[in-house]
Protein backbone atom coordinates (compact mmCIF):
# COMPACT_ATOMS: atom_id res chain seq x y z
CA UNK A 1 0.00 0.00 0.00
CA UNK A 2 1.31 3.48 -0.80
CA UNK A 3 1.56 6.23 1.77
CA UNK A 4 -1.40 8.07 0.21
CA UNK A 5 -3.52 4.90 0.21
CA UNK A 6 -2.67 4.31 3.85
CA UNK A 7 -3.63 7.87 4.76
CA UNK A 8 -7.03 7.37 3.09
CA UNK A 9 -7.80 4.45 5.42
CA UNK A 10 -10.74 5.22 7.70
CA UNK A 11 -10.18 5.35 11.43
CA UNK A 12 -7.36 6.56 13.65
CA UNK A 13 -3.85 6.47 12.21
CA UNK A 14 -0.35 6.85 13.62
CA UNK A 15 2.68 7.78 11.53
CA UNK A 16 5.74 6.59 13.42
CA UNK A 17 9.22 7.81 12.56
CA UNK A 18 12.17 5.50 12.98
CA UNK A 19 13.83 6.52 16.22
CA UNK A 20 17.24 5.02 15.64
CA UNK A 21 19.08 4.78 12.37
CA UNK A 22 22.43 5.56 10.84
CA UNK A 23 20.92 6.13 7.38
CA UNK A 24 20.24 9.54 5.86
CA UNK A 25 16.69 8.49 5.00
CA UNK A 26 14.49 7.76 7.98
CA UNK A 27 11.69 5.22 7.68
CA UNK A 28 8.12 6.28 8.36
CA UNK A 29 5.60 3.57 9.20
CA UNK A 30 1.88 4.25 9.04
CA UNK A 31 -0.35 2.20 11.33
CA UNK A 32 -4.07 1.86 11.68
CA UNK A 33 -4.76 1.79 15.41
CA UNK A 34 -8.28 0.44 15.42
CA UNK A 35 -8.91 -2.46 17.80
CA UNK A 36 -5.83 -4.40 16.61
CA UNK A 37 -3.01 -2.21 15.26
CA UNK A 38 -1.77 -2.99 11.77
CA UNK A 39 1.02 -1.59 9.63
CA UNK A 40 -0.39 -0.09 6.45
CA UNK A 41 2.60 1.50 4.73
CA UNK A 42 6.33 2.11 4.94
CA UNK A 43 8.29 4.91 3.28
CA UNK A 44 11.89 6.13 3.39
CA UNK A 45 11.85 9.91 3.78
CA UNK A 46 14.90 12.15 3.22
CA UNK A 47 15.73 14.48 6.09
CA UNK A 48 14.82 17.75 4.27
CA UNK A 49 11.25 16.47 3.79
CA UNK A 50 10.53 15.13 7.29
CA UNK A 51 9.31 18.26 9.07
CA UNK A 52 6.97 19.26 6.24
CA UNK A 53 5.56 15.74 6.01
CA UNK A 54 4.98 15.63 9.78
CA UNK A 55 3.15 18.98 9.63
CA UNK A 56 0.98 17.72 6.76
CA UNK A 57 0.18 14.50 8.59
CA UNK A 58 -0.83 16.40 11.74
CA UNK A 59 -3.14 18.62 9.65
CA UNK A 60 -4.80 15.43 8.39
CA UNK A 61 -5.38 14.31 11.99
CA UNK A 62 -2.66 11.66 12.01
CA UNK A 63 -0.75 11.27 15.29
CA UNK A 64 3.04 11.39 14.96
CA UNK A 65 5.03 8.81 16.88
CA UNK A 66 8.22 6.77 17.07
CA UNK A 67 9.26 3.17 16.45
CA UNK A 68 12.64 1.48 16.83
CA UNK A 69 13.95 -1.31 14.58
CA UNK A 70 13.77 -4.85 15.99
CA UNK A 71 10.69 -3.99 18.04
CA UNK A 72 6.99 -4.45 17.36
CA UNK A 73 6.13 -1.44 19.53
CA UNK A 74 5.43 2.15 18.56
CA UNK A 75 4.30 5.13 20.61
CA UNK A 76 3.12 8.74 20.55
CA UNK A 77 3.52 11.56 22.98
CA UNK A 78 1.54 14.58 21.84
CA UNK A 79 -1.31 16.94 22.71
CA UNK A 80 -3.67 13.93 22.92
CA UNK A 81 -1.48 12.31 25.57
CA UNK A 82 0.76 9.26 25.55
CA UNK A 83 -0.03 5.96 23.83
CA UNK A 84 1.96 2.77 23.40
CA UNK A 85 0.94 0.03 21.00
CA UNK A 86 2.28 -3.39 20.12
CA UNK A 87 1.11 -5.19 17.00
CA UNK A 88 -1.53 -6.94 19.08
CA UNK A 89 -3.07 -4.16 21.20
CA UNK A 90 -2.93 -0.80 22.90
CA UNK A 91 -0.43 -1.40 25.74
CA UNK A 92 -0.76 1.93 27.56
CA UNK A 93 -2.90 5.02 27.18
CA UNK A 94 -2.11 8.22 29.03
CA UNK A 95 -4.07 11.41 29.42
CA UNK A 96 -3.61 14.33 31.80
CA UNK A 97 -0.82 12.60 33.74
CA UNK A 98 -2.81 9.37 34.24
CA UNK A 99 -1.53 6.22 32.53
CA UNK A 100 -3.81 3.23 32.02
CA UNK A 101 -2.10 -0.07 31.21
CA UNK A 102 -3.59 -2.86 29.11
CA UNK A 103 -4.22 -4.96 32.22
CA UNK A 104 -6.45 -2.21 33.64
CA UNK A 105 -4.02 -0.74 36.18
CA UNK A 106 -3.90 3.04 36.49
CA UNK A 107 -0.86 5.04 37.53
CA UNK A 108 -0.77 8.80 38.01
CA UNK A 109 2.34 10.89 37.38
CA UNK A 110 2.24 11.85 41.07
CA UNK A 111 2.83 8.19 42.01
CA UNK A 112 5.90 7.83 39.76
CA UNK A 113 9.40 8.53 41.05
CA UNK A 114 11.38 7.47 37.92
CA UNK A 115 10.99 5.65 34.62
CA UNK A 116 13.58 2.89 34.17
CA UNK A 117 14.66 1.22 30.94
CA UNK A 118 16.00 -2.09 32.22
CA UNK A 119 17.88 -5.24 31.26
CA UNK A 120 17.83 -8.18 33.70
CA UNK A 121 18.25 -11.93 33.98
CA UNK A 122 21.43 -12.37 31.98
CA UNK A 123 20.34 -9.94 29.26
CA UNK A 124 17.18 -11.93 28.47
CA UNK A 125 14.57 -9.67 30.12
CA UNK A 126 14.24 -6.11 28.84
CA UNK A 127 11.69 -3.40 29.18
CA UNK A 128 10.42 -0.23 30.79
CA UNK A 129 9.07 0.05 34.31
CA UNK A 130 7.77 2.77 36.55
CA UNK A 131 9.47 3.06 39.94
CA UNK A 132 6.82 4.35 42.28
CA UNK A 133 7.15 6.63 45.28
CA UNK A 134 5.91 3.85 47.61
CA UNK A 135 8.89 1.65 46.62
CA UNK A 136 6.99 -0.69 44.32
CA UNK A 137 7.33 -0.85 40.54
CA UNK A 138 5.10 -1.53 37.55
CA UNK A 139 6.33 -2.87 34.22
CA UNK A 140 4.83 -0.94 31.32
CA UNK A 141 6.35 -3.05 28.52
CA UNK A 142 8.83 -5.88 28.45
CA UNK A 143 10.10 -8.82 26.46
CA UNK A 144 11.92 -12.07 27.05
CA UNK A 145 14.59 -12.94 24.47
CA UNK A 146 16.56 -16.18 24.59
CA UNK A 147 19.18 -15.04 22.06
CA UNK A 148 21.77 -14.27 24.77
CA UNK A 149 21.44 -17.85 26.03
CA UNK A 150 21.51 -19.50 22.60
CA UNK A 151 24.34 -17.50 21.03
CA UNK A 152 27.75 -17.70 22.74
CA UNK A 153 28.93 -14.64 20.78
CA UNK A 154 26.04 -12.46 22.01
CA UNK A 155 27.51 -9.39 23.72
CA UNK A 156 26.74 -5.86 24.94
CA UNK A 157 26.75 -4.54 21.37
CA UNK A 158 24.02 -7.02 20.41
CA UNK A 159 22.12 -6.16 23.56
CA UNK A 160 22.26 -2.41 22.96
CA UNK A 161 20.71 -2.95 19.51
CA UNK A 162 18.08 -5.45 20.66
CA UNK A 163 17.05 -3.37 23.67
CA UNK A 164 17.20 0.07 22.00
CA UNK A 165 13.40 0.19 21.97
CA UNK A 166 13.38 0.18 25.78
CA UNK A 167 15.80 3.14 25.92
CA UNK A 168 13.75 5.22 23.49
CA UNK A 169 10.40 4.27 24.97
CA UNK A 170 11.59 4.91 28.53
CA UNK A 171 12.90 8.35 27.60
CA UNK A 172 9.65 9.29 25.85
CA UNK A 173 7.47 8.09 28.73
CA UNK A 174 9.65 9.86 31.31
CA UNK A 175 9.40 13.11 29.36
CA UNK A 176 5.61 12.80 29.11
CA UNK A 177 5.30 12.08 32.84
CA UNK A 178 7.81 14.82 33.73
CA UNK A 179 9.97 12.33 35.62
CA UNK A 180 13.67 11.33 35.45
CA UNK A 181 14.66 8.52 33.10
CA UNK A 182 17.08 5.88 34.39
CA UNK A 183 18.58 4.02 31.43
CA UNK A 184 20.13 0.68 32.39
CA UNK A 185 20.43 -0.45 28.75
CA UNK A 186 24.10 -0.43 27.69
Give percent above pLDDT 90 in the chain.
83
> What tens digit of pLDDT does each residue of 136-184 get?
999 999 999 988 889 999 998 998 999 999 999 999 999 999 999 999 9
Give percent above pLDDT 70 in the chain.
99
> What tens digit of pLDDT does each residue of 83-113 get?
999 999 999 999 999 999 999 999 999 999 9
With cut-offs at 50, 70 and 90, classify the pLDDT of residue 20: confident
Mean pLDDT of 4-11: 95
Mean predicted lDDT score pLDDT of the chain: 94
Provide the 10 A C-beta neighbour count for residue 55.
11
Domains in the chain (CATH in brackets) are: 1-67 (3.30.420), 89-186 (2.30.29)
How high is the pLDDT of residue 79?
93
The pTM score is: 0.93
Are the C-beta atoms of residues 31 and 85 closer than 8 Å to each other? yes
DSSP string, 32-61: E-SSS-EEEEEEEEEHHHHHHHHHHHHHTT
Mean pLDDT of 23-32: 90
How high is the pLDDT of residue 99?
98
With cut-offs at 50, 70 and 90, classify the pLDDT of residue 22: low
How high is the pLDDT of residue 28?
96
> What tens digit of pLDDT does each residue of 58-73 get?
999 999 999 998 899 9
CA-atom Rg of the chain in angstroms: 17
Determine whether 170 is exposed, middle or buried from the number of CB atoms within 10 Å of its CB (0-12, 13-18, 19+): buried
CA-based nearest residue to 180, from 97, 129, 116: 116
> What tens digit of pLDDT does each residue of 33-53 get?
988 999 999 999 998 999 999
Amino acid sequence: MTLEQALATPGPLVAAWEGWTSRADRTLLVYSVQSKPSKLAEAAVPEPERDALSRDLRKRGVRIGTWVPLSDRFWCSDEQGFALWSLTRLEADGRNGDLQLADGRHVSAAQVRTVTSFVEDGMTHRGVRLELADGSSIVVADEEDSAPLADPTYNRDNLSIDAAWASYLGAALAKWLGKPHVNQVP
